[in-house]
């Protein structure tokens, strides 16, 4: 479990250094794997507003941008990033700035046009995995160093969660433990979404078929939602917590799951309703509840057969349906073994060694292979 301290501070005031916090939690019986400082960028990497974008006169894939960095006259930057437009606030590395990978920026000339900096992506700044476009910071003023943007500089603590501490699989659970260990006050905000329109039960029905395996399954209908990229601060938190951002809808469900420890999943209501109107929505919702309730119904049966290449057939049955599959076996059948001749001398030792390595690499178990004329001793 990766815990960003900036996220944790929303629920509890730590009031000590990360190393001191790790020591307190370790003395309380919890294992801390690592402490990582992230987002320590050069102060010459700043935000800049693009004033205008023109094509490069001598290169089809490049653009010439005038960027306002709130330091005197606007600078000129040549970039090949897609999607550049006027009024965008982006990350700019000024001459003399050093990137996380060790590169140092300098004023250069690209195809006869001067460029006094570089427009940076999340990957180049070590703030994400999206290298397809420049980093946009729409809510920041031009000229702000990225280290001063909220949430960029942070400390991430990696916690080893034992099977008996499932409450540590959320930011709120970790904050509750810190409050108990340090005596700090726990802040537990309870969101109350404003609802409007008719009851969701008119369009969505949830049917739980096995209350013992799935005692509760809830659904909420949210309208007028359009998927798109999530805000930068939310993507940054998800990445530092160990999750890859997808879009605003998926990221919202993952964010709530990490923060509160409540698994969520979002379904496209329009696609569900397009099949059979409201009845389609009811059938899809009941299918989700049924898949959750039927997790314990899987049974597997395996039997041996002298198939080619030493494989055995496996059968997995679920809800009365049989699905055949193949699973590699560590050794062949007894009939196939009895027809082989055992090597002797040094060749026997080399053969046994190769066989052990082959079985271990396939994930099987090692069994001794004795020559036909010898009898293994029982221990």
CATH number of 205's domain: 3.50.40.10
372 belongs to a structural domain: no
Give the count of domains, the chain: 4
Where in the sequence is the domain holding 334, given as residue range(s)? 308-338+347-361
Q: What is the 3-state secondary structure (H, E, C) of the chain?
A: CEEEHHHHCCCECCCCCHHHHHHHHHHCCCEEEEEEEECCCCCCEEEEEEEEEEECCCCCCCEEEEEECCCCCCEEEEECCCCCCCCCEEEEECCCCECCCCCECCCEEECCEEECCEECEHHHHCCCCCCCCECECCCCCCCCEHHHCCCCCEEEEEEECCCCCHHHCCHHHHHHHHHHHHCCCECCCCCCCCCCCCCHHHCCCCCCCCCCCCCCCCCCCCCCCCCCCCCHHHHHHHHHCCCCCCCHHHHHHHHHHHHHCCCCCCCCHHHHHHHHHHHHHHHHHHHHHHHHHCHHHCEEEECCCCCHHHEEEEEEEECCEEEEEEEECCCCCHHHHHCCCCCCCHHHHHHHHHHHHHHHHCCCCCCCCCCCCCCCCCC
164 and 16 both lie in a single domain? yes
Using CA atoms, how far residue 24 sits from 27, 243, 298, in Å, is: 5, 27, 43
* Rg for the chain, CA atoms, rounded: 30
Q: What is the pLDDT of residue 361?
A: 56
Q: Are 177 and 27 spatial neighbours (Cβ–Cβ below 8 Å)? A: no
226 and 160 both lie in a single domain? no
58 and 136 both lie in a single domain? yes
249 belongs to a structural domain: yes
368 belongs to a structural domain: no
pTM: predicted TM-score of the whole model, two decimal places: 0.68
Using CA atoms, how far residue 27 sits from 21, 22, 93, 205, 353, in Å, is: 10, 9, 43, 48, 46
129 and 55 both lie in a single domain? yes
Q: Are 314 and 302 spatial neighbours (Cβ–Cβ below 8 Å)? A: yes
376 belongs to a structural domain: no
Query: Does the CA dihedral 265-269-274-280 come out positive or negative?
Result: positive
Domain holding 118: CATH number? 2.40.50.140
193 belongs to a structural domain: no
Partner residues linked to 311 by β-bridges? 328
121 and 161 both lie in a single domain? no
Q: What are phi and psi of 255, to 5 degrees?
A: -65, -45
144 and 157 both lie in a single domain? no
pLDDT tens for the 379 residues of the chain, in order: 999 999 999 999 998 999 999 999 888 888 899 999 999 999 999 999 999 999 998 888 899 999 999 988 999 999 999 999 999 999 999 999 999 999 999 999 988 899 999 999 999 999 988 888 999 998 899 999 999 998 899 999 999 988 888 888 999 999 999 999 999 999 988 888 888 888 877 777 777 888 898 888 888 888 888 888 899 999 999 999 999 999 999 999 999 999 999 888 888 887 765 333 333 333 333 333 333 333 322 222 222 233 333 333 333 223 333 333 323 222 333 333 333 444 445 555 666 666 666 555 555 444 443 344 444 445 4
125 and 168 both lie in a single domain? no
51 and 140 both lie in a single domain? yes
31 and 104 both lie in a single domain? no
Domain holding 160: CATH number? 3.30.56.10
Tokens of 347: 């060749």
58 and 111 both lie in a single domain? yes
How many angstroms separate the CA atoms of 4 and 7, rounded? 5
114 and 256 both lie in a single domain? no
273 and 328 both lie in a single domain? no
How many angstroms separate the CA atoms of 292 and 14, rounded? 37
């Amino acid at each position: 479990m990766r815990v960003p301290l900036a996220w944790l501070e929303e629920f509890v005031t730590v009031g000590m250094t990360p190393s001191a916090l790790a020591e307190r939690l370790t003395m309380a019986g919890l294992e801390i794997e690592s402490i990582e400082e992230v987002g320590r960028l050069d102060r010459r990497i700043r935000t800049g507003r693009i004033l205008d974008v023109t094509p490069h006169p001598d290169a089809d894939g490049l653009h010439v941008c005038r960027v306002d960095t709130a330091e005197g006259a606007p600078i000129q930057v040549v970039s090949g990033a897609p999607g550049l437009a006027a009024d965008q606030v982006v990350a700019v590395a000024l001459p003399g700035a050093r990137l996380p990978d060790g590169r140092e920026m300098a004023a250069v000339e690209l195809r006869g046009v001067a460029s006094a900096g570089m427009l940076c992506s999340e990957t180049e700044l070590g703030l994400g995995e999206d290298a397809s476009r420049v980093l946009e910071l729409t809510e920041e003023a031009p000229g702000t160093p990225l280290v001063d943007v909220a949430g960029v500089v942070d400390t991430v603590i990696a916690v080893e969660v034992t099977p008996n501490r499932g409450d540590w699989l959320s930011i709120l659970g970790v904050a509750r433990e810190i409050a108990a260990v340090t005596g700090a006050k726990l802040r537990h905000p309870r969101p109350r979404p404003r609802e409007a329109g008719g009851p969701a039960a008119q369009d969505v029905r949830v049917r739980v078929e096995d209350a013992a395996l799935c005692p509760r399954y809830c659904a909420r209908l949210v309208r007028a939602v359009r998927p798109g990229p999530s805000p930068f601060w939310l993507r940054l938190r998800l990445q530092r917590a160990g999750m890859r951002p997808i879009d605003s809808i998926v990221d919202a469900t993952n964010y709530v799951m990490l923060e509160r420890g409540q698994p969520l999943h979002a379904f496209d209501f329009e696609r569900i309703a397009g099949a059979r109107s409201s009845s389609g929505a009811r059938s899809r919702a009941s299918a989700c509840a049924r898949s959750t309730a039927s997790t314990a119904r899987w049974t597997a049966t395996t039997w041996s057969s002298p198939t080619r290449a030493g494989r055995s057939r496996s059968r997995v049955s679920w809800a009365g349906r049989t699905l055949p599959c193949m699973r590699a076996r560590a050794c062949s059948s007894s009939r196939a073994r009895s027809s082989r001749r055992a090597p002797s001398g040094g060749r026997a030792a080399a053969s046994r060694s190769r066989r052990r390595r082959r079985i271990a690499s396939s994930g099987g178990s090692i069994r001794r292979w004795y020559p036909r004329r010898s009898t293994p001793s029982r221990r």
